[in-house]
A and B are shown apart, each in its own frame.
Chain A
């Protein structure tokens, strides 16, 4: 197995499938986690992993050997996730605040009072709440928020990538943040 990504890429370009396999084995977990974070679905994340490596394989000739393979792959995975999200019909432009209130009520009902914020901050409860909050996001809210928060994309870039108007993108991010606040503020407010 090639020691470095650069060596594996060079071999894979020459048709060495075992070298490409080494790249897949090194990076598939990271790609899956990114894809899952973006799509919120295990099934979609698997599809994104598959498509990402297929695209990478087809585009190996374009990869510049001085670049970092992981970073390059990450960019492909983000784009594949966006393509998948955009390919699905979305019906979330007309949300009122009712679902936000409902979401807050659900979280309140499971509020874990009486536990120190410091401990909870490190506990699985916070992680569980993040997971709950994430699953409460619509597909576009999730994608816009992830691209802004984790990928550092600007709102304009996100709008272009997701095919949304700037205000719609902002609205998606605001709603996502509100849901995060509703889920997590009780635990972090006085930390």
Chain B
């Protein structure tokens, strides 16, 4: 009995061992059909040639450039990602941690034991200085948050996204961000240091971007912001700082009355 020739797709499935077991008469058919056998041999040759697919050329020092890009991200990512597994429970826990550390950043040293009188004057000056710094950091995070919101809501339906305003804003924010990060690091506030580090890497990238960014690249930026929960974290710390400022203000007012 004459059996129909194997189709091109059936030959492909046969080649990859994916033909349905019940229907695979491929081997038997190929054994008895010269035409299909020739076609199958051609397919085998084509796919064997694909194996010689060229590898992309990589420059000398490629490994160094990979490491240079990777190294700054390692300790940061490791900790953040282990916090933010994105289950509701871990998010709630992370939120609590961020609020605590953001508060501790400037305010932790304000609740030390009762100082002597000369020390009180110095502590007061210190409190004022830290209060100013806290306000500055809050403003910095608010500005960063505004920029992040604009980035994540950028229109991707056009081929290019005008990034002029965001780029200029990122340029302004980078230097301040670096100072805050160094301060947070010096005071041992690990979580805030990590957040500012993540923010800084994005700011640097934006500050060095062209004014017109392709929508594909912008999509990459948006995905990165989402993947790192950057907006969420900035909002959370910014909100914690505002709360902290409010509390400090109430404490100072109460102290002034007594």
User: A-side interface residues toward B, CB under 8 Å?
Assistant: 17, 20-21, 24-25, 28-29, 32-33, 36-37, 42, 45-47, 49-50, 53-54, 57-58, 87-88, 121, 126-127, 130-131, 134, 148-149, 154-155, 170, 173-174, 177-178, 180-181, 184-185, 187-189, 191
Contacts and interface: CB of A to CB of B under 8 A. Distances in A.
Nearest to B38: A189
A11 B14 CA distance: 46
B56 interface: yes
Interface stretch (B71-79, B87-95, B131-139): B71-79
B70 interface: yes
B54 A178 contact: no
A191 B64 CA distance: 43
Contact of B220 (A29, A47, A54, A58): A47
B12 A177 contact: yes
B69 interface: yes
B81 A58 contact: yes
Nearest to B48: A188
A45 B16 CA distance: 27
B145 to A, nearest CB: 24
Given A25-B63, A58-B82, 18 more contacts: A17-B71, A28-B62, A28-B67, A57-B78, A58-B78, A126-B49, A127-B52, A149-B50, A154-B18, A173-B16, A174-B9, A177-B8, A177-B12, A178-B8, A180-B50, A184-B46, A188-B49, A189-B45
Contacts of B8: 174, 177-178, 181
A75 B69 CA distance: 22
Nearest to A25: B63
Contacts of A184: 45-46, 49-50
A50 B70 contact: yes
Contacts of B46: 177, 180-181, 184-185, 188
Contact of B71 (A21, A33, A47): A21
Contact of A54 (B42, B45, B56, B74): B74
B66 A28 contact: yes
A75 B213 CA distance: 32
Interface of B: 8-9, 12-13, 16, 18, 42-43, 45-50, 52-56, 58, 62-64, 66-67, 69-71, 73-74, 77-78, 81-82, 219-220, 223
B50 A53 contact: no
A97 B66 CA distance: 41
A126 B52 contact: yes
B57 to A, nearest CB: 10
B74 A57 contact: yes
A23 to B, nearest CB: 10
Nearest to B66: A28
A54 B70 contact: yes
A121 B63 contact: no
Given A58-B82, A87-B223, A174-B12, A32 B58 contact: yes
A64 to B, nearest CB: 20
A191 B69 CA distance: 46
Given A54-B74, A57-B78, A174-B9, A134 B63 contact: no
